[in-house]
Amino acid sequence: MSTELSPHVSDITPGRGALRPARSWLHSDAPSLSLNGPWRFRLSPTASGPEDFAADGFDDRGWDSIPVPSHWVLEGDGAYGRPIYTNIQFPFPIDPPHVPDENPTGDYRRHFDLPADWSDAERVLLRFDGVESLFRVWVNGAEVGSASGSRLAHEFDVTAAVRAGGNTVAVRVHQWSAASYVEDQDQWWLPGIFRDVTLLARPVGGIEDVWLRTGFEDGHGRIEAEITADASAFPVTLRIPELDIEHVWTAPGEIAPLDVPDARPWSAEQPRLYEATVSTAAEAIALRVGFRTVEIRGDLFLVNGRRVVFHGVNRHEAHPERGRVFDEAHAREDLARMKRFNVNAIRTSHYPPHPRLLDLADELGFWVVLECDLETHGFDQVGWAGNPSDDPAWREVYLDRIRRTVERDKNHPGVVIWSLGNEAGTGGNLAAMSAWVHARDAGRPVHYEGDYTGAYTDIYSRMYASVSETEQIGADGARSPLLNCTPAQSARQRTKPFLLCEYAHAMGNGPGALDQYEALVRQYPRLHGGFVWEWRDHGLLAAAPDGTPYYAYGGDFGEVVHDGNFVMDGMLLSDDVPSPSLFEFAAVTRPIDLVFDGGKVAVTNLRHTADTADLSFRWRVEHDGVRVASGELDVAVLAAGESGWTPLPPVTPAPHAETWLTIDVALASPTPWAPKGHVVATAQLDCTARRPVPTVRQQADWQPCDGHRSLGIAEFTGGSLVRLGDRPVSGPHLELFRAPTDNDESPSDGVEGSDDSIAGTSHADLWRRDGLDRLTVRRIGVEHTQDALRTLDKVSAANSAVWVMMESIWSVEDGELELRVEIEPSHGWRTVWPRIGIRFDLPDVAAPVDGAEWFGLGPLESYPDSLHAARTGHFTSTIRDLSVDYARPQETGHRAELRRLTLTSGATEVLRIRTLADTRGRRPGFTLSRHTPQQIARAEHPFELTDSTTSHLIIDAAQHGLGSRACGPDVWPEFALRPESRTIRLRIAAG
């Protein structure tokens, strides 16, 4: 028995003994017993340890205790090994289907008492919802089977093995197995029994499986039921009390579709669910039914007859302490957060999530692309040689995986697309999976991005296509063939709806250009939006040597091969803090669009189904950020897709302040995911009466001087500022460097189709080559007049023959101290620059500069290609909160279009700065931080940024965009900062 049931770790088999066909994960009233909780545990370094531990009477008293579900590498403070992070790489030799002898193997044991009233059960099943990667199971010493497919459910019939009273279950889990070759997803390798283990009593006359396929057409709902049960289990009754449905099927095979005229449709926006039960005399199954029809018509993807736009995210199962162990409260809060940020779709990258997640998605309302547990990306490194996807020996593995995926989750209305997997090349096994899905479920299309040419899937899907490529795909009649397609294949792909299954790689600070993709989706109906890579960072909570907590990424656990912080590419940081990119996403994907025109505003309802009856339109007028009037607009209810004009309230511009009208579109009543008043869209109109910017007063009579003097609140030594009011201050220092973002650091390889501007080398490397992080100064001159002082500096880097001239003119204008800085690069600079700024250093005196109050763009950081979440207003922040804690420290905190800034120390105002627009009307932005860009660039983790004794203010005439070059296109040319001359003008007063 044992040899038949136990595959060797290198066997290509999806396991033996697990029940087939797989079935739905159902909420049944039949008895069940959770085997979650403490299990006895022993870890061995190899796979081949003695199997005596499985014996009934084995003495496990010397073993440790481990919780189930969990990953052993996240338990025991490192006693059971460490997590490994790789993206594409395999952390073992590419020698399929073999794995190394060093194969951490966890043996688990626990006792359970079979409930006395289970004696009349027909069968007893043992279900595992997730075990990574290959496991074998014994009950009372008898082996009942084995299985692989880490994020799939496996059930074993243990009826013959269990006995009344006390029982023992033993499980052996191998970290590595042949299955690891098809589970090469970009994530941590986290072995163990990480989802629930449950014992199920199956009653005589019970329901093995049920599938309520639903539809919604012509205003009617429809149910086509598939009931799997013995003939003796009938009659089977379907009850949906809310719809007055009580329908009895008396025998199998006679199940005709039910018309449900009173049903309301389900959509991600209006997730209307009906409580249903399907029961026999012996068992009742509870389901929540949603009526919807998914359909592809031409190149449109429709639900209930209307085009769907996916404002989606790729969602991995990731928790900083639990890894992929499901925590329902945390997941629910995560999904509610998605809803608050206008996310309407989830791709379950790259495996089925815990089954409960789909209940939550149905309930809160998400379009779900449910993806199979499959990725063989590492074969890319060997030119896809030996890729299991095209090897008939692996066919059954692929089919077993997709069957388990579809069968488990088929009842969910939220699941609108099946996805075969991710990055597994292409081949016959994928085509066979697709054929199986088509035969099994005609009601949902099949997606797989790797089917470039559209040979066996229904949707044209790409990842990280650039804006230009996406436009080319969207536009009708484009002549050039699509990527990796012949003209004929291109034509075939163009007949299908298009989806970006991954785009806008959100690693570190970024991405830029979300708005450009959204504009294309609005322009070309064939483009159905996409899924940002990705929802959240996968950082694992760890402690620095001094005990400081931090979020670890690849390499932090001493891995032999790893992919660094490529696992930190979410819009949500590891600790659930939304990064500025998530606010940008929400602003760009707003469901309501507002366009001002004279005294009115055009309101467009961009939603799929919902009208605007649930929304209120609140307006306010602010003078320099101070509210002077507010009210509510009377907007007639607009159906989905409709637009209408609404008059604006009269706004009188203030004589000496900026006047802004802001409209917030907010929820008029609470929802399960947000309180009343939650803002779903915002728009602003500048109503300011234009005033001339004071012109530059031309000074004559410049005289050489030694630069020791004062001007208003400023004091200089050798021409250099040493004090402003009673604070020591130095500056302005030319600052052209920013701590490179992950996008700045990335060379332009890896992603086909992206339009990187400088092949190969990263921007950050070019900046370091040019010495932007190590500029030196040669003072050319210091001159003064009676009420002015100027210095001329030549700024350049070691071993560089290019330079920047910087002229700083301090003067007293209208009784105020003015600083004007003229920055002029020499010829010969060959790269883009990260920034053109001036830095002031403010050392701590009695108390540090630790806060800011400003009028400009805020409240969060903004960059030229990520500006939609920023609004003009008056904001305050501590210096700490001005920076985002990206997992790897990098450029953060720039706030554009500054008008006025007050630096504070506790409650005390230290300096007040006003910006004057340059001759083209442009205003600088600011960054206030306890660290310089150079210090930030040296740190690999936030805890490495040691305490500082100085605050640094950088006023930037301009910043380079963000892009998403870490895995995608570079900064769009319009937002790339080229070396150019700039003027910065400030008026400065002491607090």
The token duo for 260 is 């449900």
Q: Check residue 584 for interaction with ligand IPT (CB under 6 A).
A: no
**Smallest distance from ligand IPT to CB 462, Å:** 10
User: Which residue of the set 317, 371, 469, 502 is catalytic?
Assistant: 502
Q: Helix or strand or coil: residue 567?
A: helix
How deeply is 584 buried, as exposed, middle or buried, from its count of CB atoms within 10 A (0-12, 13-18, 19+)?
buried
Q: Which is nearer to ligand IPT, 107 or 186 (CB)?
A: 186
- Return the residue of 147, 751, 901, 962 that touches ligand IPT, per CB under 6 A: 751
E strand segments, 451-491? 460-463
Which conformational region is residue 525 in: left (phi greater than 0), alpha (psi within -120 to 50 degrees), or beta? Answer: alpha
Segment 151 to 210, residues that bind ligand IPT, using CB under 6 A = 186
Among the listed residues 533, 550, 551, 854, the single contact to ligand IPT using CB under 6 A: 533
Burial 839-877 (b: 16+ CB within 10 A, else e): bbebebeeebbbbbbbbbbbbbbbbbbbbbbbbbbbbeb
In the set 750, 771, 781, 991, which binds ligand IPT (CB under 6 A)?
750
Binding residue for ligand IPT, selected from 308, 463, 500, 681, defined by CB under 6 A: 463
What is the identity of the amino acid at 36?
N
CA within 13 Å, CB half, 966: 28
Q: Should residue 469 be labelled a site residue for ligand IPT when binding is judged by CB under 6 A?
A: no
- Least distance to ligand IPT from the beta carbon of 267, Å? 28
How many residues bind to ligand IPT according to rule CB under 6 A? Answer: 14
Cβ distance to ligand IPT smaller for residue 341 or 351: 351
Q: Is 774 helix (H, G, I), strand (E, B) or coil?
A: coil
CB of 879 to ligand IPT, least distance (A): 32
Nearer to ligand IPT, 507 or 870 (CB): 507
Q: Identify the CA nearest to 775 among candidates 794, 756, 789, 750.
A: 794
464 binds ligand IPT (CB under 6 A): yes
CB of 513 to ligand IPT, least distance (A): 16
> What is the CB neighbour count within 10 angstroms for residue 229?
20
Residue reference for tokens 């309230």: 649
Among 132, 334, 423, 744, binds ligand IPT (CB under 6 A): 423
423 labelled catalytic: yes
* Least distance in angstroms from the C-beta of 942 to ligand IPT: 21
Write out the two tokens for 525.
């109906």
Q: How far is the CB of 131 from ligand IPT (least distance, A)?
A: 22
Quickly count: other Cβ atoms within 10 Å of residue 365's Cβ.
25
Nearer to ligand IPT, 536 or 895 (CB): 536
Q: Does 746 bind ligand IPT (CB under 6 A)?
A: no
Provide, rounded to whole angstroms, the least separation between the CB of residue 336 and ligand IPT: 25
* Residue among 118 and 464 whose Cβ is closer to ligand IPT: 464
376 contributes a contact to ligand IPT by CB under 6 A: no
Q: Considering 155, 317, 375, 423, which one is annotated as catalytic?
A: 423
The verdict on whether omega for the bond into residue 392 sits within 30 degrees of 0, i.e. cis, is no
Q: Is 502 in the site for ligand IPT (CB under 6 A)?
A: yes
**658 is a catalytic site residue:** no
Can you tell me which of 553, 566, 673, 926 binds ligand IPT, judged by CB under 6 A? 566
Question: What is the 3-class SS of 678-736, one letter each residue?
Answer: CEEEEEEEECCCCCCCCCCCCCCCCEECCCCEEECCEEEECCEEEEECCEECEEEEEEC
Angle between helices 514-523 and 580-588 (to 10 degrees): 20
Q: How many CB atoms lie within 10 A of CB 644?
A: 15
Smallest distance from the beta carbon of 400 to ligand IPT, in angstroms?
A: 22
Q: How far is the CB of 353 from ligand IPT (least distance, A)?
A: 15
Residue 60 within binding range of ligand IPT, rule CB under 6 A? no
Smallest distance, Å, CB 89 to ligand IPT? 11
Using the minimum distance from each CB to ligand IPT, give the nearer residue, 193 or 507.
507
Read off the tokens for 153. Answer: 């459910």
Backbone φ and ψ of 936, nearest 5°: -65, -40
Q: Rounded to 5 degrees, what are φ and ψ at 856?
A: 165, -150
Binding residues for ligand IPT restricted to 939-978, rule: CB under 6 A: 967
Three-class secondary structure of residue 443 per DSSP = coil
Q: Which of residues 428-457 bind ligand IPT (CB under 6 A)?
A: none
CA distances from 70 to 39, 41, 108, 151, 190 (A): 11, 12, 12, 13, 9
CA distances from 390 to 425, 621, 722 (A): 9, 63, 70
Task: Report DSSP state, residue 186.
Answer: S
Cα–Cα separations (whole angstroms), residue 639 to 294, 344, 600, 614, 624: 21, 18, 20, 11, 36
Kindly give the interhelix angle for 355-364 and 328-340, rounded to the nearest 10 degrees.
30
The residue (of 181 and 803) whose beta carbon lies closer to ligand IPT is 181
CA distance 296 to 21: 29
CB of 384 to ligand IPT, least distance (A): 13
CB of 746 to ligand IPT, least distance (A): 11
The residue within the footprint of ligand IPT, chosen from 359, 569, 584, 770 (CB under 6 A), is 569
Query: What distance lies between CA 52 and its chain's CA centroid?
Result: 45
Are 279 and 286 in contact by the 8 Å Cβ rule? The answer is: no
Q: Is 422 in the site for ligand IPT (CB under 6 A)?
A: yes
User: Rounded to the nearest 5°, which phi and psi values hold at 889?
Assistant: -55, 140
* For ligand IPT, the closer CB: 474 or 968: 968
Q: Is 756 in the site for ligand IPT (CB under 6 A)?
A: no
Site for ligand IPT in 546-565 (CB under 6 A): none
Angle between helices 395-409 and 428-440 in degrees, nearest 10: 30
Q: What's the closest the beta carbon of residue 349 comes to ligand IPT, in angstroms?
A: 6
Nearer of residues 464 and 660 to ligand IPT, judged by Cβ: 464
87 binds ligand IPT (CB under 6 A): yes
Q: Which residue is nearest to ligand IPT (CB)?
A: 186
- Residue number with CB closer to ligand IPT (419 or 883): 419
Query: Is 677 in contact with 604 (CB distance < 8 Å)?
Result: no
* For ligand IPT, the closer CB: 422 or 609: 422
- Please, which residue, 129 or 502, has the CB nearer to ligand IPT? 502
Does position 291 interact with ligand IPT (CB under 6 A)? The reply is: no
966, with CB counted inside 10 A (0-12, 13-18, 19+), is buried
Burial 723-733 (b: 16+ CB within 10 A, else e): bbbebebbbbb
Choose between 502 and 624: whose C-beta lies nearer to ligand IPT.
Answer: 502
Binding positions for ligand IPT, rule: CB under 6 A: 87, 186, 422-423, 463-464, 502, 505, 533, 566, 569, 750-751, 967
Q: Which residues are catalytic?
A: 423, 502
